[in-house]
Amino acid sequence: MKESVASTIFVLLLFLNTRLLNGQSPPGKPEILKCRSPEKETFTCWWKPGEDGGLPTNYTLTYHKEGETLTHECPDYTTSGPNSCYFNKKHTSIWTMYIITINATNQMGSTSSDPRYVDVTYIVEPDPPVNLTLELKQPEDKKPYLWMKWFPPTLVDVRSGWLTLQYEIRLKPEKATEWETHFAGQQTQFKILSLYPGQKYLVQVRCKPDHGFWSEWSPESSIQIPNDVTMKDTIVWIFVAVLSAVICLIMVVAVALKGHSMVTCILPPVPGPKIKGFDTHLLEVLAPWLGGRTPAGRHLLRALHLQTSSSRIPKMCPSLSRAFWTSVTKLGLHTKPRMPPCDFTPEKYQSLAYDRVLEVHRLHL
């Protein structure tokens, strides 16, 4: 009995050694590359096979849900292509963790991949938007702009709110190397204002859900911008610049030639106080007694622009004739002036009532 067992083991080792010498071995360890859901209703997982060991190798995907012990095999190996497993709506659950493993098996043995933990909610990567259209609009009296619009991916249900998408646009002149990117939010239309005339622009758009990844860029759409798109705006701005320069030049010349006159017009001098009832000639006569020979006196005389009212003096005191005031000029600095006789009797002054004075004081002060 022992001899038969030993011979059996010897034959198996000889068989295994023969296979190894022929380059045959168990399969290499497979690797799960990616799991993706295009619309949060179905998903697909892809894997990369390891070495086949020189023998035909069979790959299977097995999974179980978190909290369950029952293991299931991939429901569809063909829909998403080779080395993939497709989960339809029947086999897809959101807010559920899937533990997925790839098993490789040949005649020499089997090998399993590292487990992959998948929550469908967080692996959503939609298809690119569709039907991207471009249009150059030139409204009257406004700058032309590039108007673009598109539609969400066909498989995504955005009307019911099951999935909310955000969009991003990129464009560039055909010969440029760097793209200009714009975030469009949830709207499916956008306009670009800054355009180079005579350039052919390439435009693409992509989308992203609230939880998930950006889609691939849509196929390129192109539009040719005419050379004369911004010609009117350019002419208007040139005209405004030339006109502004001419106006500034005229103002500078005017200020240089008539600087004092313009300052006087803009900031006229403040007029001095004018006191009615005094004769200018009388002020000149009395200048020595007012300190007119000192700097302070001269300043006082210049500041007081007195209004001539010589017609009032004879009425008040007829004896004060101009001849008298002329004789005053003969007096010296040390001569005591003598008041002339005057037959003028002033009228009785009637002041305001005390209550009225208080009212005026309260109103103005």
What is the edge-to-edge ordering of all strands in the sheet holding 189-192?
130-137, 145-151, 189-192
Contact 344, 321 (CB under 8 A): no
Per the structure block, which two tokens stand in for 103? 């098993």
Q: What one-character DSSP code corresponds to residue 37?
A: B
Contact 60, 92 (CB under 8 A): no
DSSP string, 207-258: EEESSS---PPPPPEEEEPPTTTTHHHHHHHHHHHHHHHHHHHHHHHHHHHS
Q: What one-character DSSP code corresponds to residue 102?
A: E
* C-alpha separations of 326 from 285, 321, 332, 355 in Å: 8, 9, 13, 46
Strand partners, 200: 224
Per the structure block, which two tokens stand in for 265? 């017009």
State the first-to-last Cα distance of the chain, in angstroms, to the nearest integer.
Answer: 135
111 in helix, strand or coil? strand
**Distance between CA 329 and CA 287 in Å, rounded?**
10
- Displacement of CA 322 from its chain's centroid (Å): 82
Question: Would you give per-residue pLDDT tens digits along the chain (365 residues)?
Answer: 445 545 555 444 444 454 544 567 888 999 999 999 999 999 999 999 988 878 889 999 999 999 888 999 999 999 999 999 999 999 999 889 999 999 999 988 899 999 999 999 999 999 999 999 999 988 876 778 899 999 999 989 888 888 899 999 999 999 899 999 999 999 999 999 888 888 899 999 999 998 899 999 999 999 998 886 555 566 677 878 888 898 988 888 777 776 556 556 555 665 655 555 555 555 555 555 555 455 555 555 555 544 444 444 444 555 555 555 555 555 555 666 677 777 777 777 777 788 888 888 888 87
Which residues are within 8 A (CB) of 245 and not within 5 positions of it... i.e. 6 or more apart?
none
| Radius of gyration of the chain from its Cα atoms, rounded to whole angstroms | 53
CB under 8 A, 24+ apart: contacts of 140-143: 143/193, 143/230, 143/233
Residue 289 phi/psi, 5° resolution? -80, -15
Cβ-based neighbour number of residue 29 at 10 Å: 15
